[in-house]
Structure 1
Amino acid sequence: MNTTATPSVWKQPAQVWAVAFACVVAFMGIGLVDPILPAIAESLQASPVETELLFTSYLLVTGLAMLVTSWISSRIGAKATLLIGLALIVAFALLCALSGSVDAVIGFRAGWGLGNALFISTALATIVGAASGGSSAAIILYEAALGLGIAIGPLLGGLLGEMSWRGPFFGVVALMAIAFVAVLVLLRGPAEKRTPVPFSAPFTALRRPALAILAVAALFYNIGFFVLLAFSPFPLGFGALGIGFTFFGWGVALAITSVWVAPLVMRRMPRTRIIVTVLPLLAVDLVAAGFLAGDPAALVVCIIIGGLLLGIMNTVLTEAVMEATDLPRSVASSSYSAVRFLGGAMAPPLAALLWHSFNVTVPYLFAAASVLIAALTVFLGRRALAHIDSHGAVPAAEDAQAILVGDAA
């Protein structure tokens, strides 16, 4: 059995590699602008609050679009949805690169978020359908693409950002244009069987108590996530390359615990217990980051430790959502992710505002308090969540699709 496992994973049709490459680039977009935030603020004469809106517009539109992507793709097909998403990312990344004001970049990042939502909500379902070796091979490929993208994004942003803050945006344009051509040419196959998803499905899903509890917890958790990711470049005080290497380490840490550590922990502990254990640890790390923010080396350590904890939380929360209801998992994940993205959208400008109004410690204390609220939400709702602690088998294809949407946040 072991002798055939490796070929089944890595010997894939060209169309699978085309979509996997596009996944890497799409996930690079999460941390790509991180290293250039101070440079954008300086070059475009923008305040930190205005600069942080680059995350807000992107995440807010991505989250809201998640509510309708399944409705769209179930009607026009996966390939058309992928190509539209890629085309929007190319167009709006180019407009970002050519912009002359921070307001324009904020607006174009919103369009980028729409393209990202269309692409990431469809990509893994496509890989699952086309991969040789079954859906388990597709999951491995996706996790590899996710980890690669999250780690490389800040590093590439830092390298290109050393030349100009426009560099990372031009880099995305080039890479996504290659991905568009690859998907257009290589993604072939029999006509898809389409089962239209009702427009109201993601909205009605939030009426389920277990899913609503997890969504609210994820909203507050994501505040902590994006304060650490989007605000930290300012107190670090590094250049674009230094910030890029810092968050490269963060991304590697997150990928390691998400792919390898979280599954090991879930085999030994109930999901709700993991959540109410890891979230307070994350709060402690954020408090430490707040009080040590004046020491760049100490703050880097806190960021890396945060990446380790965030990787566990991302996977465990997503697995919990999969078990929360008997709804199609793609619908449940879309609903959950839409609410979760709201936390990510509001966190960066709020953190910058708190920094401006008080001091550098307060944003991290705000993030720690939000993370503790997330833990308290899960603790108080543990009766409604009791069934997610069972270790029943999850269909691999549905597992992959839910992880795709959940980890995208």
Structure 2
Amino acid sequence: MRLPVVFILISVMLDSMGIGLIIPVMPDLIREVNGSTIAAAALWGGVLSTSFAVMQFLFGPVLGGLSDRFGRRPVLLVSLIVMSLDYLVMAVAGTIWLLLAGRVVGGITAATQATAAAYMADISAPEKKAANFGLIGAAFGLGFVIGPVMGGLLAEYGTRAPFYAAAALAALNAAFGWIVLTETVTDRIRRPFSWTRANPLGTLRTLRALPGLGPLLLVFFLYQLAFIVYPAIWSYFGQERFGWSPAMIGLSLALFGIMLAIVQGGLMPLVLRVLGERGAVIYGHGFDVLAFLALAFVTSGTLALVLTPLAALAGVITPALQGIMSKSVGDDQQGELQGALTSISAFAMILSPMVMTSVFAAFSREGAPIYLPGAPFILSAVLILIGLSVFVRAGHVRPSSGVRSTPAP
């Protein structure tokens, strides 16, 4: 594997780790700086998480557009340097407002997943795009597993230790990237930066105008909305339905993350050879419907542990969709496309937890008309079925012929 690709995968993994790394210490840290109860700390934790997701939503297209204009290398390296400094600020923060400012800046710097994906698109032959996007998904999955584990271990050394570790990792990766990362944006594909396009609505409006891309963006959004049921309600579902301890919940999430990394990083090329990108999307949706419905009605904790890693087999959807969409836009729009996908994912991360936790509460509270803690999984299955219907009706999307100059609106 080439060193620039290693840098890209580490960067994506750090984006994922950066979230999970600090989760174990956030309740204690918030109470430490705010002198509040655990209930109040949970409310502030929600504010911090939402602000992070909102910044990703707003700045994904900005960083993607900047990378189309100035190159992937400066955007990635500057973001890593700012990320490192941001973690250091959070490590010494003495007020809740400074922590909030840190999460705002952190959300901006973590929006570089769009630029990383655009870099991968730049260096990939059309037939290799989906498989290489699978590597990015695998790196994100590994970060999802490693982050909370490392954060929990470092928490033994104090509430600030995970922040210092995250700062060091970001700085070391920036130094590594400075040495090995080559620029992929040439004058052939470089295009002017436009604030009109560099926002979620402007980007989506521009991309929807391309033939066949609008339905695929909708499918991507519906899938993200459904998929986030796992981080949104899994801990509550595991405790309510099976009486799981936090350790068991962590184990089940680790199993899911590891299997997701195996599917997207190892099995993706095989799936593409057998089914192709379109077939992989259809298979993934069908498998997800079955997995969600099984989890909705399962009553055995052991069976749920078996189903959890199997559910990750549907992880082929995201890289396959990214591959199809990447080939349908010009070389000069890769950053813009990936920025739009980052914003869509962030918007789903804002919306889905509120919806899924509300559904869970409605069907698991005392006096509920039907006691069904797995109800959010049924909602996710419905969203997946709608997405599958949209995808099948959309038909095949014609690949782009190369550079597509799109004038600013």
The normalised TM-score by structure 2 is 0.72
The offset of 1:22, in angstroms, is 3.6
CA RMSD of aligned residues (A): 4.2
Please say if 1:320 is aligned against 2:297. no
Please say if 1:252 is aligned against 2:258. yes
* Structure 2 residue corresponding to 1:346, chosen from 345, 351, 363: 351
Distance across 2 between alignment mates of 1:168 and 1:85 = 19
Tell me if the contact between 1:89 and 1:112 (Cα under 8 Å) persists in the aligned partners. yes
Distance across 2 between alignment mates of 1:93 and 1:64 = 21
Q: Which runs of 5+ in 1 are unaligned?
A: 1-8, 396-409
Distance across 2 between alignment mates of 1:190 and 1:281 = 39
Count of matched residue pairs: 374
- Aligned pairs (5 A) from 1:11-50: 12=2, 20-33=9-22, 45-46=38-39
The offset of 1:142, in angstroms, is 5.7
Please say if 1:89 is aligned against 2:83. yes
Q: What residue in structure 2 maps to residue 169 of structure 1?
A: 163
* Structure 2 residue corresponding to 1:373, chosen from 367, 380, 383: 383
Q: What residue in structure 1 maps to residue 405 of structure 2?
A: none
Tell me if the contact between 2:61 and 2:343 (Cα under 8 Å) persists in the aligned partners. yes
- Secondary structure of the structure 2 residue equivalent to 1:386: coil
Tell me if the contact between 2:208 and 2:214 (Cα under 8 Å) persists in the aligned partners. yes
- Aligned pairs (5 A) from 1:205-220: 205-208=207-210, 210-220=212-222
Distance across 1 between alignment mates of 2:392 and 2:270 = 22
Per mean C-alpha deviation after superposition, the further-off stretch among 230-239 and 210-219 is 230-239
Per mean C-alpha deviation after superposition, the further-off stretch among 70-79 and 44-53 is 44-53
1:312-356 deviations in Å (ceiling 9; x for gaps): 222222223224455734433332332233112222243334444
Per mean C-alpha deviation after superposition, the further-off stretch among 42-51 and 371-380 is 42-51
Q: What residue in structure 2 maps to residue 407 of structure 1?
A: none
Q: What residue in structure 1 maps to residue 337 of structure 2?
A: 332
In structure 2, do the counterparts of structure 1 residues 100 and 363 end up closer, same or farther at CA, with 3 Å as the change threshold?
A: farther
The offset of 1:216, in angstroms, is 1.7
The offset of 1:205, in angstroms, is 0.8
Q: Which runs of 5+ in 2 are unaligned?
A: 198-202, 366-370, 403-409
Tell me if the contact between 2:9 and 2:139 (Cα under 8 Å) persists in the aligned partners. yes
* Structure 2 residue corresponding to 1:262, chosen from 268, 279, 283: 268
Tell me if the contact between 1:279 and 1:372 (Cα under 8 Å) persists in the aligned partners. no
- Aligned pairs (5 A) from 1:5-404: 9=1, 12=2, 20-33=9-22, 45-46=38-39, 51-98=45-92, 105=99, 108-117=102-111, 119-123=112-116, 145-146=139-140, 148-161=142-155, 166-184=160-178, 186-187=179-180, 193-194=186-187, 195-199=190-194, 200-201=196-197, 202-203=203-204, 204-208=206-210, 210-237=212-239, 242-269=248-275, 271-292=277-298, 297-309=302-314, 311-325=315-329, 328-359=333-364, 364-387=374-397
Paired amino acid for 2:340: S
The normalised TM-score by structure 1 is 0.72
Distance across 2 between alignment mates of 1:50 and 1:218 = 30
The offset of 1:64, in angstroms, is 2.3
Distance across 2 between alignment mates of 1:101 and 1:355 = 33
Distance across 2 between alignment mates of 1:197 and 1:351 = 40
1:102-125 deviations in Å (ceiling 9; x for gaps): 7765553232121011x3333466
The offset of 1:280, in angstroms, is 4.3
